[in-house]
Structure 1
Amino acid sequence: MALWDRVKESAQSMQTQLMAKKNDLKSGAFRDASMAMCALVAAADGQIEPAERQRVAQLIAGNDVLRAFPADDLQRRFGANLDKLTADFEFGKVGVLQEIAKAKKKPAEARAVIQIGIVIGGADGDFDATERGVVREACFALGLPPEEFDL
């Protein structure tokens, strides 16, 4: 199986797992951590192109698990996290990882945040090393072993 196919299959598998837990994923901590994760993956290389920002925003809007929250609220939170990361990536990353860590108290939510990062990272078929690296850092912030997610 080609790498491209494995990435797509993994992202689809994560989305299926998220859908199974959809009714349990409605807290503010999950919402905030998910938007921080989306921003972190989108800006993993330290910058974000307008087209990439738009693509991730569309993925957020189209994600069935995240539809429990108002779309404009999600976009605002995603944008605020991206602004932190683009202003000063290393400093912003500290704040964004703290936001992600808010989901640590509920293991199911923490795992779902990581799964969202994998879904967003793999949506274009190229879950690259930089994206994998920031999702791995998020695992540590959430107290989860990266190996659980093949990171």
Structure 2
Amino acid sequence: MALWDRIKESAASMQSQLNSKKNELKSGGFRDASMAMCALVAAADGSIDYSERQRVSSLIATNDVLQNFPADDLQRRFDDNCQKLTADYQLNKVTLMQVIGKLQKKPVEARAVIQIGIVIGGADGNFDADERAVVKEACFALGIPPHEFDL
């Protein structure tokens, strides 16, 4: 199986797992951590270009699990996180990882945030090394072994 197909299959599998837990994923902490993860994946290479930002915004708006929250609220939170990363990537990357880390004692939500990172990163069929690294870092922030997600 080609790498491209495995990435698409993995992203689809993660989305399916997320959908099965949709009713458990309604907390503000999950919302905030998900938007932090989306911004971190979008900025994984250290910058966020307009097309990447638009692509991630579109994925956020159409993700079934994230539809538990108002779309305009998610968009505002994602945009705010992107602005922070653009202003000072290193400092605000740490801040956003801390937001994600707050879910450490909520395993269902913590794993769902990692799955969202994988879905967002792999949506274009190219879950690149920078995106994998930032999702792996989020695993460490949550106390989840990265190998659980083949990272």
Could you say whether these structures have the same fold, taking a TM-score greater than 0.5 normalized by the shorter chain as the test? yes
1:120 equivalenced with 2:100 (yes/no): no
CA distance in 2 between counterparts of 1:75 and 1:147 reads: 31
Residues 36-68 of structure 1: CA deviation (Å, up to 9, x unaligned): 000000000010111110110000000000001
CA distance in 1 between counterparts of 2:75 and 2:67 reads: 12
Q: Where does the alignment leave 5 or more consecutive residues of structure 2 unmatched?
A: none
Which position in structure 2 is the counterpart of 1:81? Answer: 81
CA distance in 1 between counterparts of 2:143 and 2:85 reads: 22
1:1-151 map, 5 Å: 1-151=1-151
CA distance in 1 between counterparts of 2:45 and 2:20 reads: 31
Cα drift, residue 146 of structure 1: 0.3
Q: Secondary structure at the match of 2:102?
A: helix
CA distance in 2 between counterparts of 1:68 and 1:143 reads: 25
CA distance in 1 between counterparts of 2:56 and 2:102 reads: 22
Cα drift, residue 103 of structure 1: 1.6
Cα drift, residue 104 of structure 1: 1.5
CA distance in 2 between counterparts of 1:129 and 1:47 reads: 15
Cα drift, residue 135 of structure 1: 0.2
Residues 122-142 of structure 1: CA deviation (Å, up to 9, x unaligned): 000000000000000000001
Moved over 6 A (4+): none
Cα drift, residue 98 of structure 1: 0.7
Q: Secondary structure at the match of 2:144?
A: coil
TM norm structure 1: 0.99
CA distance in 2 between counterparts of 1:125 and 1:64 reads: 19
Provide the identity percentage: 75
Q: Supply the RMSD in Å over aligned alpha carbons.
A: 0.5
The residue type equivalent to 1:102 in the other structure is K
Q: Secondary structure at the match of 2:48?
A: coil
TM norm structure 2: 0.99
CA distance in 2 between counterparts of 1:68 and 1:105 reads: 21
